[in-house]
Chain A
Amino acid sequence: MRMLDRVARKPWIWSWVAAFVVWFATIMVTGGASTLDLSQAALTFAAFSIIVGIGQMFVITLGPGNVDLSVPSTMTLAGTVALKLMDVDNAMILAGLGVAVLIGIGVGILNYALIKALRIPPIIATLSMSFIVQSAAIWTNRGLRIKPPNFLADFTIANTLGIPNVAIIALVISVIAWFLLERTIYGRWISAIGQSMPAAKMAGIPVDGTRFVTYVFCAVLASLAGYLLACFSGGAALNMGTEYLLMSIAVVVLGGTAVAGGDSNVPGIWGASLFMFLVVSMLNTYGLGAGIRLIMTGLIIISVIMLAGGRQPGVR
Chain B
Amino acid sequence: MTGEKLKAIVEVADAKVCFGAVKALDGVTLAILPGECLGLVGHNGAGKSTIVSVINGGLTPHQGNISGDGEVLTRYGINSARARGVRCVFQELSLCPNLTVVENTRMMHRHLGGFGWRKRAKEVIERSLDAVFPGHGIASDRSVGELSITERQMVEIATAFSHAGVAPRLVILDEPTSSLDASLAEQMLTYVRRFIAAGGSVIFISHILNEILTTASRIVVMKDGRIVADRPAGDWTERGLVEAMGSVVKGEAHRRAVRDLAAAPVVVEQGGSGMPFRARRGELVGFAGLAGHGQTRMLMKLHAAQSSDWLPRRDPAVTFVAGDRHLNGVFELWSILKNLSIGSLGDLATRGMINAAAEAERGAEWKRRIDIRTQDLANRILSLSGGNQQKVLFARALSTRAPVVLMDDPMRGVDVGTKQEVYEIVRQQALGGRTFVWYSTEMEEVCLCDRVYVFREGAIVAELAGDAVSEENILAASFRGAAA
Inter-chain contact B334/A195, CB cutoff 8 Å = yes
CB-defined contacts of B309 to chain A, threshold 8 Å: 201, 206-209
Which A residue's beta carbon lies closest to that of B356?
A183
Q: Kindly specify which of A48-56, A154-162, A184-192, A223-231 makes contact with the partner chain.
A: A184-192
Is B352 an interface residue, CB under 8 A from the partner? yes
Is B307 an interface residue, CB under 8 A from the partner? yes
CB-defined contacts of B354 to chain A, threshold 8 Å: 183-185, 188
Inter-chain contact A204/B378, CB cutoff 8 Å = no
Q: B352 to chain A: closest CB distance in Å? A: 5
Is B312 an interface residue, CB under 8 A from the partner? yes
Total residue contacts A-B, CB cutoff 8 A: 92
Is A297 an interface residue, CB under 8 A from the partner? no
Partner of A199, one of B318, B331, B353, B402: B331
Is B333 an interface residue, CB under 8 A from the partner? yes
Inter-chain contact A203/B396, CB cutoff 8 Å = yes
Q: A32 to chain B: closest CB distance in Å? A: 43
Q: A198-235 vs B: 1/0 string, CB under 8 Å?
A: 11111111111100100000000000000000000000
CB-defined contacts of B41 to chain A, threshold 8 Å: none
Is B93 an interface residue, CB under 8 A from the partner? no
Is B349 an interface residue, CB under 8 A from the partner? yes
Q: Report which residue of A202, A207, A262 has the largest number of chain B beta carbons within 10 angstroms of its beta carbon.
A: A202
**Cα(A268)–Cα(B268), bound, Å:** 48
Q: A215 to chain B: closest CB distance in Å? A: 14
**Cα(A209)–Cα(B312), bound, Å:** 8
CB-defined contacts of B308 to chain A, threshold 8 Å: 206, 209
Q: A295 to chain B: closest CB distance in Å? A: 35
Is A292 an interface residue, CB under 8 A from the partner? no
Q: B331 to chain A: closest CB distance in Å? A: 4
**Cα(A199)–Cα(B334), bound, Å:** 13
CB-defined contacts of A262 to chain B, threshold 8 Å: 331, 333
Interface of chain B residues 296 through 318 with chain A (CB within 8 A): 303, 307-313, 316, 318
Is B27 an interface residue, CB under 8 A from the partner? no
**Cα(A268)–Cα(B247), bound, Å:** 60
Inter-chain contact B333/A203, CB cutoff 8 Å = no
Is B31 an interface residue, CB under 8 A from the partner? no
Inter-chain contact B310/A206, CB cutoff 8 Å = yes
Inter-chain contact B379/A184, CB cutoff 8 Å = no
B interface residue numbers (CB < 8 A to A)? 303, 307-313, 316, 318-320, 322, 327-335, 338, 342-343, 345-346, 349, 352-354, 378-380, 396, 400, 402
13 interchain pairs, CB-CB under 8 A: A183-B354, A185-B346, A186-B352, A192-B331, A196-B327, A202-B328, A204-B320, A206-B309, A206-B313, A208-B310, A209-B312, A313-B333, A315-B335
Beyond A185-B354, A202-B322: 6 further Cβ-contacts under 8 Å?
A184-B353, A196-B331, A199-B328, A199-B329, A206-B313, A209-B311
